[in-house]
């Protein structure tokens, strides 16, 4: 309790003391980000150095609306508009580690949302392809990732259930919305030895690691999770926001 109070005091002091220097906010965010990795991610058992480095580097506050910047390094998902959320930092790290991504890998992400998970992946892998069903989110993510200078990420507006045949097969597929069962078309776009990390279920969801073998797939339950549903194009309201 005391620790929390002093931390809040320190954050407030840093903000006011540095109100005249331009770098102040960024410095506070950087401190919060290092602490997020230590307390929420390393402490819960994430050990992959490349994942930890990416989480330390990527500025999560730039992926949430301005009024939520100060909450960006908290241990929770945050709203990004259109009824969607950016995942909890720990879950992003967990899924990235579970997919065992190599530096020469080609990755497909379903559910671009803010683009945060795509950027974490792009810090580790060679190429990232990401699909978002809501056009305005796909547009803003593409703009954001372009402005940030990521040349190894391609964003496509469209239905993730179809995958991205043109660039298949993939070394790994990360699905960040929950289908009710394993999407077979996506599984078929994995390389032999490729991994798909996907939350399955409607009300109750479980995160699965699906690995493509020479013949068939290995399916492993990892942990209970809560994701927004992976929807079909026919269920989208054009004016939802």
Tokens of 106: 């080609």
Smallest gap, in angstroms, from Cβ of residue 162 to ligand SAH? 8
Which of 96, 117, 189, 205 contacts ligand SAH by CB under 6 A? 117
Q: Tokens 């040349």 belong to which residue?
A: 151
Q: Is 43 helix (H, G, I), strand (E, B) or coil?
A: coil
Q: Report the alpha-carbon distance of residue 138 to residue 202 in Å, rounded.
A: 24
How many residues comprise the chain? 241
Nearer to ligand SAH, 111 or 194 (CB): 111
Q: Select the span of 33-41, 108-116, 186-194, 199-207 touching ligand SAH (CB under 6 A).
A: 108-116
Cβ atoms within 10 Å, residue 66: 8
Q: Tokens 């906010």 belong to which residue?
A: 25
Q: Report the alpha-carbon distance of residue 106 to residue 129 in Å, rounded.
A: 8
CA separation (Å) from 221 to 29, 102, 135, 172, 224?
A: 34, 22, 32, 17, 9
Nearer to ligand SAH, 116 or 129 (CB): 116
Smallest gap, in angstroms, from Cβ of residue 28 to ligand SAH? 22
Smallest gap, in angstroms, from Cβ of residue 83 to ligand SAH? 8
Q: Select the span of 16-24, 49-57, 112-120, 212-220 touching ligand SAH (CB under 6 A).
A: 112-120
| Cβ partners under 8 Å of residue 123, min gap 6 | 50, 53, 54, 57, 58
What mask, x for binding ligand SAH by CB under 6 A, covers residues 157 to 196? --xxx--------------xx-------------------
Cβ atoms within 10 Å, residue 134: 21
215 is catalytic: no
Query: Binding residues for ligand SAH, how many (CB under 6 A)?
Result: 23
Nearer to ligand SAH, 145 or 210 (CB): 145
Q: Report the alpha-carbon distance of residue 46 to residue 43 in Å, rounded.
A: 7
Smallest gap, in angstroms, from Cβ of residue 219 to ligand SAH? 21
- Binders of ligand SAH among residues 62 to 101 (CB under 6 A) are 84-87
Cβ atoms within 10 Å, residue 229: 14
Chain contacts with ligand SAH (rule: CB under 6 A) = 84-87, 110-111, 113-114, 116-117, 131-134, 137, 159-161, 176-177, 228, 230-231
């Amino acid at each position: 309790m005391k620790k929390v109070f002093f931390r809040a005091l320190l954050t407030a002091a840093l903000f006011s003391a540095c109100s005249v220097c331009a770098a102040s906010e960024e410095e506070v965010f950087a401190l919060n980000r290092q602490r997020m990795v230590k307390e929420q991610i390393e402490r819960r058992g994430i050990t992959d150095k490349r994942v930890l480095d990416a989480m330390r580097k990527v500025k999560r506050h730039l992926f949430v609306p301005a009024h939520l910047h100060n909450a960006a390094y908290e241990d929770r998902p945050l709203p990004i508009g259109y009824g969607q959320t950016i995942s909890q930092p720990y879950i992003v790290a967990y899924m990235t580690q579970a997919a065992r991504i190599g530096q020469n890998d080609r990755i497909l992400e379903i559910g671009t949302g803010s683009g945060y998970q795509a950027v974490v992946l792009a810090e580790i892998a060679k190429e990232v392809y990401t699909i978002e069903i809501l056009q305005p989110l796909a547009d803003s993510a593409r703009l954001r990732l372009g402005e940030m200078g990521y040349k190894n990420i391609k964003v496509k507006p469209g239905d993730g259930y179809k995958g991205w045949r043109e660039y298949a097969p993939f070394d790994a597929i990360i699905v960040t919305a929950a289908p009710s069962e394993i999407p077979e078309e996506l599984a078929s776009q994995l390389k032999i030895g490729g991994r798909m990390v996907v939350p399955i279920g409607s009300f109750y969801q479980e995160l699965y690691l699906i690995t493509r073998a020479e013949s068939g797939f290995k399916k492993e339950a990892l942990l209970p999770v809560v994701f927004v549903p992976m929807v079909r194009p026919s269920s989208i309201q054009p004016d939802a926001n």
